[in-house]
Amino acid sequence: MINPRYILLLFSLLLIVGCKNDIKPADTNRVTDKTIQPSEQKETTEPPATEEEFPEAVEPIKIADDIAAKWVELSEKDGFTVDVRYATTHNFTKKKIYDCGKCYLHPEASENLIKVQQDLQKRFGYSIKLFDCYRPRAYQQRLWDAVPDPDYVTPPQKGSMHSRGLAVDLTIVDKDGKELDMGTPYDFFGEEAHYSYNHSDAVKRNRWILKSTMEKYGFKGIRTEWWHFSYRSVSYPLDEWIWPCD
């Protein structure tokens, strides 16, 4: 007779072996739906995301030295006579300071100077002769090197309204291009150039026409130089830009 304990032991062994056969090894080569093997990645042919998918674009940077927007050249086509003395030796330093003679101002100043020109032409048949306009800091340095005297030249580190593109030196000419008598030549640094000097009535009248018309359009003169005027309704820093020579 077989011992029941042996029968129970044999049954247990058979049960364990059967369970092991039901367990299959994991498929190590299997790829889940969420995994992409590097070798299986493909280049996308879809178009880039639209603007709506990005934050609102930042406003483009405005270039400060945009010449067309920042400077306006005044020339014969505007009715002016241009005689930039510092581009010649015909000035108080007797030296050529500028590489070439052109007249540039900031838009606000140039716009109002054109109005002065139109006003003079309409009322008197006169026009403007330009002696000096914007003066780059490098040219201001040359001027100072030629005459290092603050009584005559503004030190470069301080800068003048010319170097800010807001000052102009000028006179008036008649319909034949002849300069009106202002009592002294341009760049004459003596008492006779002062507004307070007791000139003839004709000189006083000519200076009054120039001064009153310039002031009408926002320019201010100085008491010691009848030819110098600055447009002071706006402000600009000292500038380095130098106009090109043709």
In a domain, 220, yes or no: yes
- Catalytic residue check, 240: no
In a domain, 26, yes or no: no
In a domain, 203, yes or no: yes
pLDDT at 25: 45
In a domain, 136, yes or no: yes
pLDDT at 12: 57
pLDDT at 50: 34
**pTM value?**
0.72
What backbone torsions phi and psi does residue 64 show, to the nearest 5 degrees? -65, -30
In a domain, 49, yes or no: no
In a domain, 206, yes or no: yes
Which residue numbers in the chain have pLDDT < 70? 1-68
Task: Give Cα separations from 115 to 135, 175, 182, 224 (angstroms).
Answer: 22, 18, 22, 25
Using CA atoms in the order 5, 8, 14, 16, what is the torsion angle rounded to 10 degrees? -100
Q: Count the neighbouring beta carbons within 10 Å of the beta carbon of residue 164.
A: 22
In a domain, 16, yes or no: no
Alpha carbon 173 to its chain's center: 33
Q: What is the CATH number of the domain that holds 222?
A: 3.30.1380.10
pLDDT at 55: 32
Which of the residues 73, 108, 192, 225 is marked catalytic? 225
pLDDT at 246: 80
In a domain, 7, yes or no: no
Query: In which domain, by residue range, is 165 found?
Result: 72-231
Instruction: Tally the domains of the chain.
Output: 1
pLDDT at 7: 54
